[in-house]
């Protein structure tokens, strides 16, 4: 381990909150990180789900924050598990490591865990993105498995409009839906600022739950803790420029919402909801079309529909990317073969 690298464990939320500025700056230096690793997402998760037994590893190089492994401990019969903060409602879970010091920080974290006195039996990292440093960690490949499909619509460099990105049939359907809505009445799409945020949040909670209730299921937003999480996280994400919250109004009434997160390269479509009484206006498609158009205009390289293989995602031209689950106990940490070598 580099002599300049120092590690410590953070076990209380106040320590993490004090770190939030440096944490956000570290995320901005890590191209592989997603909005789901940011403090504006994970700090509200800790608060809303009353998470105890935090075990967050911090790495510094000459006082500069260069790595963060946001973990917590929980017990299940026969095991104490180290798991990533954000689990359950987060599509991508990962550690945040400055790419300039990836190997040093990663080895430092793994060595630290190997000798820690936290009493953990297994580390279970679920939904790691394909670019995660942990998948290049030197851990044996038999401890890694494919997890979930995340359909992604890739935007070619130089794309100017939907014609350059979206299949012709889908473009025609979108044009027809927009024309039909305009014939029926006054329709508009907006992106929430602080003044509109609570209204769109209320609409999202109502519309998403209504949509799921149609199929006899409660939906993720039926859980009061999840609702509290979004109430806490949304203002922070909005102020940091990460949240892009779309609403579709018909005759001034919100009939659809889309909760998107953005980073410099990718727009992530996290949650949608629409009023089923306006199904014939294709409100979900209208909002997705707006997200894709904005991503093209902003020069992003992809729109990520996140986990789940719903057919509508592929109709836009998305193709599957996969997340991975990495599970191992203490004795595996010092294994010598790399993931690539073992797989080969």
In tens, the pLDDT along 110-136 reads: 999 988 888 899 999 999 999 999 998
Q: Residue 229: pLDDT above 90?
A: yes
The pLDDT value recorded for residue 178 is 97
d(CA 209, CA 203): 10
Q: Residue 140: pLDDT above 80?
A: no
* DSSP class of 54: B
Q: Please, what sign has the CA dihedral across residues 213, 218, 219, 225?
A: positive
How large is the average pLDDT for residues 10-22? Answer: 97
Percentage of the chain surpassing pLDDT 90?
84
* Angle 140-151-222 from CA coordinates, rounded to 5°: 100
Q: How confident is the model at residue 337 (pLDDT cuts 50, 70, 90)?
A: very low
Q: Residue 89: pLDDT above 90?
A: yes
Query: Tokens 């999840």 map to which residue?
Result: 226
Give exposure, 186-217, as e/b (b: 16+ Cβ within 10 Å).
ebebebbeeebbeebbebbbebbbebbeeeee
d(CA 11, CA 132): 24
Percentage of the chain surpassing pLDDT 70?
94
Q: Residue 109: pLDDT above 70?
A: yes
Between strands 79-84 and 122-128, the pairing is parallel
Residue 16: burial class (beta carbons within 10 Å; 0-12, 13-18, 19+): buried
Of residues 123, 115, 137, the one with CA closest to residue 79: 123
Give residues with Cβ within 8 angstroms of 288, minimum separation 6.
258, 269, 272, 316
How large is the average pLDDT for residues 145-156? Answer: 96
How large is the average pLDDT for residues 162-182? Answer: 97
Give residues with Cβ within 8 angstroms of 330, minimum separation 6.
113, 114, 120, 121
Q: What are phi and psi of 330, to 5 degrees?
A: -55, -40
How large is the average pLDDT for residues 8-12? Answer: 96
The pLDDT value recorded for residue 338 is 38
Mean pLDDT of the chain: 92
- Note the maximum CA span of the chain: 69
The pLDDT value recorded for residue 218 is 74
Q: Residue 19: pLDDT above 70?
A: yes
Residue 72: burial class (beta carbons within 10 Å; 0-12, 13-18, 19+): buried
The pLDDT value recorded for residue 342 is 28
d(CA 234, CA 216): 28
Tokens read off for 302: 């992809």
274-318 pLDDT, tens per residue?
999 999 999 999 999 999 999 999 999 999 999 999 999 999 999
The pLDDT value recorded for residue 336 is 38
Q: Residue 152: pLDDT above 60?
A: yes
Q: Please, what sign has the CA dihedral across residues 335, 338, 342, 343?
A: positive
8's enclosing H/E stretch is: strand 5-10
28-38 pLDDT, tens per residue?
999 999 999 99
The pLDDT value recorded for residue 332 is 62
Q: How confident is the model at residue 340 (pLDDT cuts 50, 70, 90)?
A: very low
The pLDDT value recorded for residue 118 is 87
The pLDDT value recorded for residue 341 is 30
Of residues 119, 125, 11, 115, the one with CA closest to residue 75: 119
Is 67 in contact with 58 (CB distance < 8 Å)?
yes
């Amino acid at each position: 381990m580099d002599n300049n690298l120092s590690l410590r464990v953070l076990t209380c939320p106040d320590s993490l909150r004090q770190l939030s500025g440096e944490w956000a700056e570290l995320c901005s230096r890590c191209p592989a990180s997603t909005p789901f690793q940011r403090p504006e997402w994970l700090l509200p998760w800790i608060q809303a789900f009353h998470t105890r037994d935090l075990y967050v590893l911090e790495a510094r190089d000459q006082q500069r924050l260069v790595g963060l492994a946001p973990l917590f401990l929980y017990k299940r019969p026969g095991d104490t598990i180290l798991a990533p903060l954000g689990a359950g409602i987060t599509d991508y879970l990962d550690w945040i490591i400055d790419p300039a010091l990836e190997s040093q920080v990663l080895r430092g974290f793994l060595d630290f865990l190997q000798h820690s006195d936290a009493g953990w039996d297994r580390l279970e990292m679920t939904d790691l993105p394909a670019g995660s440093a942990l998948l290049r960690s030197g851990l044996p490949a038999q401890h890694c498995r494919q997890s979930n499909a995340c359909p992604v619509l890739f935007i070619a460099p130089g794309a100017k409009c939907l014609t350059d990105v979206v299949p012709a049939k889908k473009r025609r359907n979108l044009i027809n839906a927009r024309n039909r809505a305009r014939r029926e009445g006054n329709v508009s799409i907006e992106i929430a600022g602080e003044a509109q945020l609570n209204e769109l949040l209320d609409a999202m909670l109502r519309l998403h739950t209504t949509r799921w209730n149609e199929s006899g299921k409660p939906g993720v937003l039926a859980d009061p803790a999840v609702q509290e999480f979004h109430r806490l996280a949304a203002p922070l994400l909005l102020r940091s420029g990460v949240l892009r919250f779309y609403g579709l109004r018909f005759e001034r009434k919100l009939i659809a919402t889309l909760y998107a997160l953005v980073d410099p390269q990718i727009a992530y479509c996290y949650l949608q909801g629409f009023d089923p009484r306006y199904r014939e206006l294709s409100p979900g498609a209208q909002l997705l079309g707006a997200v894709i158009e904005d991503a093209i205009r902003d020069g992003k390289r992809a729109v990520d529909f996140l986990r789940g293989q719903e057919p509508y995602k592929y109709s836009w031209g998305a193709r599957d990317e996969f997340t991975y689950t990495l599970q191992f106990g203490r004795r595996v940490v010092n294994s010598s073969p790399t993931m690539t070598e073992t797989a080969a």
